[in-house]
Structure 1
Amino acid sequence: MDTTAFLRWLHSIMAGSGSGTRKRIIRFRHRKDYLQFIQASSKSTQTRPLLQSVKHLPLIQAISCPLPDTGILPYLGDRIWVEDDRPLNVHSILKKSAAVDKGIPWGVKQIKAPLAWSQTTGHRIKVGVIDTGVDFNHPDLRHSLSRGINLLSRGMLPYDDNGHGTHIAGTIAAANQLHGMIGVAPRSTIYPVKAFDYNGSAYVSDIILGIEWCVRNQIHVINMSFGMKTRSRALLNAVINAYNAGVVIVASAGNDGNRKSVDYPARYPQTLSVGATTRLRRIAPFSNRGSDIDIYAPGDKIVSGWLRGHYNEMSGTSMATSHVSGAIALLLARHPAMSPADIKATLRRSMRPLRGTKAPRSTGELDILKMLQAADR
């Protein structure tokens, strides 16, 4: 690849881009081309200032930048892949203020987490929550948080300005039994990765940067309570790289009530795809379902932490996903050598059957005691 010509083209097309511009991801097929681009672009930012807005995605040998609908260099067709940098949204559908479920919320009880705490509490397991950030001052989370990273504003802590990320973190690892609530794995550590803005929106490139940060910081479990309808090769590439690095990725199925398919990234086989159940252990009406679901967990009317130390009741496959991430933290604290494939197999052979005449027989609801027994065998 002629890196100088590519940089010149990239700068000129960014400078001339108008109303037909969209964020794109450009992946380099060959690592040598990518490394040459990185080296050359770092020397060119002063003479070509627009290149400072190019987002580097080293986990997948790619960049993200605004490009017009036409004008991709045709002779680079065999050296690069180009795709839209698509938007994603967090997976929740209902919220209302709530008094805290003093002590142990119903979902944490339903999956039998308290019965496992004599064996494991998730100690030393790092859970990356790629979401809207977290309320660092929440009394139930103060002892469960690491610094994490804010991908939207690198110099700041990943403060939550939406509430969704705090809710997810609370279900996974809240630890305030005397005055507040307790999560599934109260001695695990949450690493908040703020990729979503106050509206609960992000781009695929933000998620890829979040996954890369988690891989680089040796995070054990990544909670992904979000999704989109369209497939992204770039996101799949990032998920595969994390999976190969031994990171367990837990992803929410989506809240469209779709009976045959789930959202991405939950549809990728390298993730653990989670659907939502109710207190009656039936599939929640809003939950996507189908053969791509690996496991179900409580996701209807879940009370957890919220902004400014408050609590909210929320429903969605997001909430189900956080229960599964906490369960995996409990499992890994007891069996740290388990691979993502081992964990998925263990979960799938230890589920409780779902209730309901139309409930699928191929999958079931999370049961932490059965999960630990299956892993011990």
Structure 2
Amino acid sequence: MKDSSSYANKIIIFKKDTTPLQRFEIYKKYGLSVGKNFKRLKVALCYAKEAEIFGLLNEEPWIEAIEEDINFELQVIPDSIKAYSLRGQEIPWGVKKLKAPECWDDFCGDMVKVGVIDTGVDTEHPDLRENIKEVYGAFKKNMIEDDNGHGSHVSGIIAAINNDIGVVGVAPCAKIFSVKAFDKNGNGQLSGILEAFEWCINSKVDVINMSFGIPNESLALKRAIKEAYKENIVLVAAAGNSGQKDSVLFPAKYEEVIAVTACDKRGKFAKFSSQGREVDFIAPGVDILSCYYNGSYSLMSGTSMACPHVSGAVALILSKKHLKPSEVKEVLSNSARDLGYPREKQGAGFIDVKRALSILD
């Protein structure tokens, strides 16, 4: 297809028991062009010359649902981004509060693969490059570099290297598998997220960090979540930044996903955090120092920042013992510290990775 912009597009979710031939017959019958084919998920981004064609597809017995290629939002507070100059190395307050440095002599995330679905990563950042194992472009082919800063910041919280410069991540030996699914303005679409999931699953990552969300459910996203969970991948997502009750975003809202809210240095619940019964944990998310693009550093706030603190903690746990996602969540729950807030704000409490590792002894 030379110019897809003149065509209507939708996400087609086929029934799980359909065969490749059956799906091909649908494409052929309705003259559909496949923009992206997610074979593992049995989902496809398709283009049609007329939007009405997608209405006819609802009558096909092999199709479960049809969705828009909806937009996703990163969960960072834009006004919170501030450049930060460093001399030597600094351990960020959030990493200290999780008690991660007290674990590094024995466990630092070795051999644990963390998928980061975000704006990409600064592959030449001196505090990241040694821990970047693989990169992939789901926004545009061959576009992998972070031109926004958010993805590098998230990756740094998880696994910035313990050297003599910059910052240190929660799991400084973990390996980053970065997927660029968001553009320089922080805009992403469902089709890119689905492609990122397929790549992460096929790359056999151990954890997927999702510092993004949408207010409404997507059946295609739900299928991707369930497929990853089935492969024993621990899923961690930002709860959202609406500051409202009962406002946890998807994918954090799914039961297979660990939903994370944010607090500040004093342990005070961040007023921007979404709340709800789906919240699992609270973690540092205000004025968080980490890597940024172009080899720099910055402060940022949001549940976008709280989420990777938990992903890093999971990496430390998995470097000690291989556990199923449900077992990881149980260990974190049994070791979390109560900050005195209702479960809708803090879930089981504040992550204490040292205590979590001691439970595994």
Fold equivalence (TM over 0.5): yes
Q: Distance in 2 between matches of 1:342 and 1:245?
A: 14
1:220-299, aligned counterparts within 5 Å? 220-299=206-285
1:196-207, aligned counterparts within 5 Å? 196-207=182-193
Which residue in 1 is equivalent to 2:328? 343
Contact 2:282 2:347 in 1 (8 A): no
Contact 1:185 1:327 in 2 (8 A): yes
CA offsets per residue over residues 262-316 of structure 1, 9 Å max, x none? Answer: 0000000001111101111121111112211100100000011111111111000
> In the comparison of the two structures, how many residue pairs are matched?
352
Residue of 121, 140, 151 corresponding to 2:138:
151
1:125-164, aligned counterparts within 5 Å? 125-156=112-143, 158-164=144-150
Matched, 1:109 2:96: yes
Matched, 1:189 2:170: no
Q: Distance in 1 between matches of 2:228 and 2:331?
A: 20
Which residue in 2 is equivalent to 1:208? 194
Residue of 217, 223, 245 corresponding to 2:203:
217
Instruction: Quote how far apart the aligned CAs of 1:85 are.
Output: 1.7
Q: Distance in 2 between matches of 1:16 and 1:123?
A: 45
Q: Distance in 1 between matches of 2:344 and 2:61?
A: 47
Q: Distance in 2 between matches of 1:302 and 1:169?
A: 13
Instruction: Quote how far apart the aligned CAs of 1:83 are.
Output: 1.4
Residue of 311, 329, 353 corresponding to 1:325:
311
Q: Distance in 1 between matches of 2:114 and 2:249?
A: 22
Instruction: Quote how far apart the aligned CAs of 1:69 are.
Output: 4.8
Contact 1:151 1:194 in 2 (8 A): yes
Q: Distance in 1 between matches of 2:312 and 2:248?
A: 22
Which residue in 1 is equivalent to 2:52? 70
Consecutive unaligned residues of structure 1, counting only runs of 5 or more, are 1-10
Q: Distance in 1 between matches of 2:124 and 2:347?
A: 42
Matched, 1:375 2:357: no
Which residue in 1 is equivalent to 2:159? 173
CA offsets per residue over residues 55-103 of structure 1, 9 Å max, x none? Answer: 1112320111345553322573432121112110111002011123832
- My pick for the range that moved more, 205-214 or 65-74, is 65-74
SS in 1 for 2:178: strand
Q: Distance in 2 between matches of 1:129 and 1:98?
A: 23
**Could you say if the C-alpha distance between residues 114 and 78 of structure 1 is closer, same or farther in structure 2, counting changes exceeding 3 Å?**
same
Structure showing greater Rg? 1
- My pick for the range that moved more, 175-184 or 209-218, is 175-184
Which residue in 2 is equivalent to 1:8? none
Which residue in 1 is equivalent to 2:62? 79
Contact 1:54 1:63 in 2 (8 A): yes
Instruction: Quote how far apart the aligned CAs of 1:369 are.
Output: 1.0
Q: Percent identity?
A: 39
Contact 2:58 2:66 in 1 (8 A): no
Instruction: Quote how far apart the aligned CAs of 1:210 are.
Output: 0.7
CA offsets per residue over residues 210-260 of structure 1, 9 Å max, x none? Answer: 111111111000000000111001100110010011111100001110122
Contact 1:278 1:284 in 2 (8 A): yes
SS in 1 for 2:253: coil
Q: Distance in 2 between matches of 1:357 and 1:254?
A: 17
Instruction: Quote how far apart the aligned CAs of 1:360 are.
Output: 5.5
**Could you say if the C-alpha distance between residues 242 and 358 of structure 1 is closer, same or farther in structure 2, counting changes exceeding 3 Å?**
closer
Q: Distance in 1 between matches of 2:104 and 2:200?
A: 26
Q: Distance in 2 between matches of 1:254 and 1:341?
A: 22
Q: Distance in 2 between matches of 1:221 and 1:356?
A: 27
SS in 2 for 1:307: coil
Cα RMSD, aligned residues only? 2.5
- My pick for the range that moved more, 191-200 or 173-182, is 173-182
Give the TM-score taking structure 2 as reference length: 0.91
Instruction: Quote how far apart the aligned CAs of 1:33 are.
Output: 4.1
Contact 2:261 2:345 in 1 (8 A): no
- My pick for the range that moved more, 175-184 or 109-118, is 175-184
Q: Distance in 2 between matches of 1:203 and 1:153?
A: 11
Q: Distance in 1 between matches of 2:12 and 2:92?
A: 44
Consecutive unaligned residues of structure 2, counting only runs of 5 or more, are none
Instruction: Quote how far apart the aligned CAs of 1:38 are.
Output: 4.6
Contact 2:279 2:346 in 1 (8 A): no
Contact 1:281 1:355 in 2 (8 A): no
**Could you say if the C-alpha distance between residues 178 and 153 of structure 1 is closer, same or farther in structure 2, counting changes exceeding 3 Å?**
same
Which residue in 2 is equivalent to 1:120? 107
Instruction: Quote how far apart the aligned CAs of 1:361 are.
Output: 7.4
**Could you say if the C-alpha distance between residues 218 and 74 of structure 1 is closer, same or farther in structure 2, counting changes exceeding 3 Å?**
closer
